[in-house]
Amino acid sequence: MAINWFPLWLSLRVAALATLISLALGLWIAQLLANRKFPGKEVLDAVVTLPLVLPPTVLGYYLLVSLGRSSPIGRFYEWVFGTSLVFTWQAAVVASTLHAIPLLVKSARAAFETVDRSYEKAARNLGASDWRVFWRVTLPLSRRAVIAASVLAFARALGDFGATLMIAGDIPGKTQTAAIAIYDAVEGGDTLVARVLVLVLSAVAMAIVYGANRLQQRQVTG
Amino acid sequence: MIQARISKRFPPGPESAGFSLEIQLQAGPGVTALFGPSGAGKTLTLDAIAGFTRPDTGRILLDDQILFDAAARVNLRPQERHCGYVFQNYALFPHMTLRENLLFAADRQPRLERHRRVNEMLERFHLSDVSGRRPHEVSGGQKQRCSIARALIGSPKLLLLDEPVRGLDAPLRAELYDLLRNIRADFKIPILLVTHDLEECFELAEEMLIVREGRVVQSGPPRKIQEQPANVEVARLMGISNLFEAEITALDPGRNTSRVRFQNYEIAGRYFPGHLLGDRVWLCVRAEDLRVARHNGSRPELNQVPAKLLRISDRPQSVRLEFAGDISVELSRQEYERQKENKDWLVEFPPSALKVL
């Protein structure tokens, strides 16, 4: 019998996109948290961390309420793209992004904060704008931690189940990601498909975590 | 010309005592040293000038540009201040080669000019051969030179140096002194040098400011300050080791003489203008100005006092003898060789060497 690889490709695509988006958003939030003083700073940190500790279904519910067809964001999305966001693979990207962001923000903030301040001082003294200081000094000096964190974020996005199921649903060939396909296969008694997908997903996750660890060890030893 | 009059208050915290900085300084082209113990506020002053810390009140003027004015709410960003800053740990970007470090700093120069200028600086600071290496792959002296080159490449109007000799051995220090003398001659900008090394002040500085607990307690050429310290703390900082609580027991302006009593001794000095009979003063004598003689039991001559030798320590150029009563004498090696068989000692206080504070 032929195994349907679509869920795996979808998962990889969703996870890759989610990682990119959470990198952009996460690095921005992380440098705000690391460099700026503003009211509600620790509240922002807590809110960003929340997806790490909440049950995925709670997250999914929030998403459904805030992005659904009757919500302002949902209506705006529909007005721009002509189609609803919920129950599409793009919604799965949103769910995975939300899941991946805390990892990135936490690691990147810690990494930015451990960069010796005198380098940033020196850069500003030499006339560099804040933007240039970030891109040329802070980020390169914390790049290993950021790469390791993005790898973990990718792995986490790959494995999202609950939130994705609630907001993107389980539409085979459209929004059915690998994690959901495994659940379906087990439910439907399709043990072979379940086994293959489980093994492949495990192997991918294993490779990713191993790679991330290697990176971080290299960072410790310099 | 840099002029600053700033104050900044740090309220006491749960684990730190409060601190207040109240600095007034003015420096023209040439080297001005900010000298004082650690924690006196020297680096804080540099940071305020460079724009990394915001004073509560005051004004900072560089040439005719206002960098900071609390009353007028002017506070230029560090990027706009044109102050070259050589940090204590050099702060060379570790992920860039020396050339890239300079290029980063030359960013404001026109594109064509940039590479020419970087090459010129690499050449001038003898870094051309190692320009492709990262900071951790070069020697301490090369790092030092690169950080100075980086600070100067944008043609700053002021150079700030934070303890540049820290961690350098003697030959590298000498090299750095030469380098800074050349920079002083070529760039003709004010150079503010933070240090707690007295030798460095004498080597380089035309003017020095003694900073203690956030205040400038005395300023002037190093030699002048050493000759006439404003108070006993300054005298201590200037390395004057013989400081005794004393009382003036006689003063004769006509014959230009005086007598001073300290511990159990009474010795003769020159007339001390501005002091009164019976004044409690600090008697202050440099260890190099004292002399020693053998005590053979006969009556000591004028200003010779018997003292018990406690400790002998070798110095690079001299020998230091420490006597009971906190009297220290620094002798040249030859003089020590001549006297070292002495059993009992006399310490002689030449009248001209005595100062009172």
CB contact under 8 A, A122 and B154: no
Shared-domain flag, residues B155 and B7 = yes
Per-residue pLDDT of chain B in tens (357 residues, 90 and over written 9): 999 999 999 988 888 888 999 999 999 999 999 999 888 999 999 999 999 999 999 999 999 999 999 999 999 999 999 999 999 889 999 999 999 999 999 988 888 889 999 999 999 999 999 999 999 999 988 999 999 999 999 999 999 999 988 878 888 888 889 999 999 999 899 999 999 888 889 989 999 999 999 999 999 999 999 888 888 889 988 988 889 999 999 888 889 889 999 888 888 888 888 888 888 999 999 898 898 888 887 777 888 888 888 999 998 888 999 998 889 999 999 888 888 888 888 899 998 888 888
Using 70 as the pLDDT threshold, list the residues of chain A that sit under it. 1-2, 216, 218-222
The pLDDT value given to residue B102: 95
Set of chain B residues whose Cβ sits within 8 Å of the Cβ of A125: 50, 52, 78-79, 81, 83-85, 151
Shared-domain flag, residues B217 and B276 = no
- From first CA to last CA, the distance across chain A in angstroms is 50
Q: Which residues make Cβ contacts (< 8 Å) with residue B197, sequence separation at least 6?
A: B163, B165
Closest C-alpha to A165, from A66, A60, A73: A60
Last residue of a domain, one of B235, B256, B275: B235
**Helical H runs in chain A?**
6-35, 41-53, 56-67, 72-81, 89-114, 117-125, 130-133, 139-141, 143-158, 162-168, 178-187, 191-221
A and B: number of Cβ contacts within 8 A: 58
The pLDDT value given to residue A199: 92
Q: How far is A119 from chain B (nearest CA, A)?
A: 5
**Helical H runs in chain B?**
42-50, 98-105, 111-124, 140-152, 170-187, 198-204, 222-227, 232-237, 333-339
Q: Could you count the other beta carbons within 10 Å of the beta carbon of residue B16?
A: 9
Interface check B107 vs A, CB under 8 A: yes
Looking at residue B82, its amino acid is: H
The pLDDT value given to residue A221: 45
Shared-domain flag, residues B124 and B244 = no
Shared-domain flag, residues B220 and B264 = no
CB contact under 8 A, A125 and B104: no
Last residue of a domain, one of B235, B258, B290: B235
Residue of B91, B92, B108 with shortest CB distance to A127: B108
Distance CA(A12)–CA(A21), nearest Å, equals: 14
For A126, the closest chain B residue by CA position comes to B105
Shared-domain flag, residues B229 and B258 = no
Three-state secondary-structure class, residue B143:
helix
Q: What are phi and psi of B205, to 5 degrees?
A: -90, 135
Residue of B87, B93, B107 with shortest CB distance to A127: B107
Q: In what order do the strands lie in the sheet with B2-10?
A: B74-75, B65-69, B57-62, B2-10, B19-27, B215-220, B207-212, B30-35, B190-195, B158-162, B83-86
Distance CA(B243)–CA(A127), nearest Å, equals: 48
Interface check B89 vs A, CB under 8 A: yes
Distance CA(A103)–CA(A105), nearest Å, equals: 6
Q: How far is B171 from chain A (nearest CA, A)?
A: 27
Q: What is the CATH number of the domain that holds B43?
A: 3.40.50.300
Shared-domain flag, residues B9 and B51 = yes
Structural domains of chain B, count: 2
Shared-domain flag, residues B212 and B258 = no
> Chain B 111-150, CB below 8 Å of chain A: which residues?
150
Query: For domain A6-221, is the CATH number 1.10.3720.10?
Result: yes
Shared-domain flag, residues B143 and B89 = yes
The pLDDT value given to residue A174: 86
> Chain A 96-155, CB below 8 Å of chain B: which residues?
116, 118-119, 121-129, 132, 136-137, 140-141
Q: In terms of residue numbers, what domain contains B318?
A: 240-356
- What is the ipTM for the molecules in this complex? 0.81
pLDDT tens across A58-101, in order? Answer: 988 998 888 888 888 888 888 888 888 888 888 999 999 998 99
User: What value does the CA radius of gyration of chain B take, rounded to a whole number of Å?
Assistant: 25
The pLDDT value given to residue A222: 42
Looking at residue A118, its amino acid is: S
